[in-house]
Structure 1
Amino acid sequence: MHIEHAKLGEDGRLIIPAPLRKELGLHAGDTIVIESDGDSLLLRSYERVLKEVQASFAPHRVPGTRAADELIAERQAEAAAEDPVGS
């Protein structure tokens, strides 16, 4: 664990100390995600959170397919079931 001190600016801005930015791989202009548990804040890079979300859905992915393709196929099957004559 790496601990640094920082002061909150009058406008509510917080400057993340350079050693922590370097440790986390953060650069000027990066988007970060800020989580609160009511007592403390957790700062993480947007890219890190995105990778975690993608990884959590990965077990549900059918290899060789895309969700959009699956949805289109489902809708086409539903439409065919509603209109079996094909008029």
Structure 2
Amino acid sequence: MDATLVLGKQGRLVIPSEVRSALGLAPGDQLHLRLVGRSVVLERPQDATAELRGLASRVPQDRSLVEELLAERRVAAAAGE
């Protein structure tokens, strides 16, 4: 689905009703905005969370990212950084 939005005088955008319906958006819902290069991405917080969980699910269960970070910090501290 494509839509063209017009930026209002106060910097406001109106999301067309068919897009809001397709995404299940209602008045008062929050959206997360992020820049990807020169593009703007709007997403519901729960969709952003699901994406992050998907990324984390690819980390093997026997790998501890916390332990890796602590090890890196210990090396940096020992080097006087």
Category of TM-score, reference length = shorter chain: 0.5 to 0.7
Q: TM-score, normalised by structure 2?
A: 0.60
Task: Report the aligned-residue RMSD.
Answer: 2.0
In structure 2, stretches of 5+ residues that fail to align are 62-81
Structure 2: distance between partners of 1:20 and 1:34: 16
Superposition deviation, residue 49 in structure 1: 0.6
Structure whose CA Rg is larger? 1
The 3-state SS of whatever aligns with 1:49 is helix
In structure 2, the residue matched to 1:3 is 2
Letter paired with 2:24: G
List 4+ stretches of structure 1 deviating above 2 A: 54-62
In structure 2, the residue matched to 1:48 is 47
Superposition deviation, residue 56 in structure 1: 2.7
Show CA shifts across 1:13-40 (max 9, x none): 1111111111122221111111212322
Q: TM-score, normalised by structure 1?
A: 0.56
Comparing 49-58 and 2-11, the one that deviates more = 49-58
Aligned residues: 61
Structure 1: distance between partners of 2:54 and 2:36: 23
